Amino acid sequence: MRSELKGVVVAAFACACVFAATAEEHVGKNLERGEPARWFQPDDTPQKRAATAKKEAQAALAESLADCRKQATDRKACEKQARDQYNMDVQAARATR
């Protein structure tokens, strides 16, 4: 029994080491390529600004809902508040057009 546990621990550690090495390699490749060109495209029209604002609102909603799902109490109220904020953000984005 004890040797089986040792084997499992050694295997888990080996997997963790391999994962850490590949994760570091992936980050290095991204740094070498630099930042994507799309990050530097300006929002120079009202339509582009509205589209960017809507994307940001969607990302904020996703983060808020993820945080709400971690809560055990008042989850429904938290989700409602997150969706209400999203609706206000989308309305503000539409107003910029």
Highest mean pLDDT of the ranges 1-15, 22-36, 53-67? 53-67
Residues in CB range of 49: below 8 A, 6 or more apart: 43, 96
49 and 93 both lie in a single domain: yes
Q: pLDDT class for 82, splitting at 50, 70, 90?
A: very high
pLDDT tens-digit readout, 32-48 = 667 777 677 787 888 88
Reported pTM:
0.58
Q: For position 10, what pLDDT does the model report?
A: 56
25: its two tokens: 């390699």
**Do 60 and 89 touch, CB atoms closer than 8 A?**
yes
| Of the candidates 31, 49, 28, 58, the residue with the CA atom closest to the CA atom of residue 95 | 49
Is the pLDDT at 91 greater than 60, yes or no?
Answer: yes
Q: Catalogue the E-assigned strands of 49-92.
A: none
Pair 62, 80 in one domain: yes
Q: Which domain holds residue 22?
A: 1-34
Specify the number of domains making up the chain: 2
Are both 50 and 29 inside the same structural domain?
A: no
Asked if 93 and 76 sit in the same domain, the reply is: yes
pLDDT at 17 over 60: no
Predicted local confidence at residue 4, as pLDDT? 65
Q: For residues 58 and 1, which has the higher predicted lDDT (pLDDT)?
A: 58
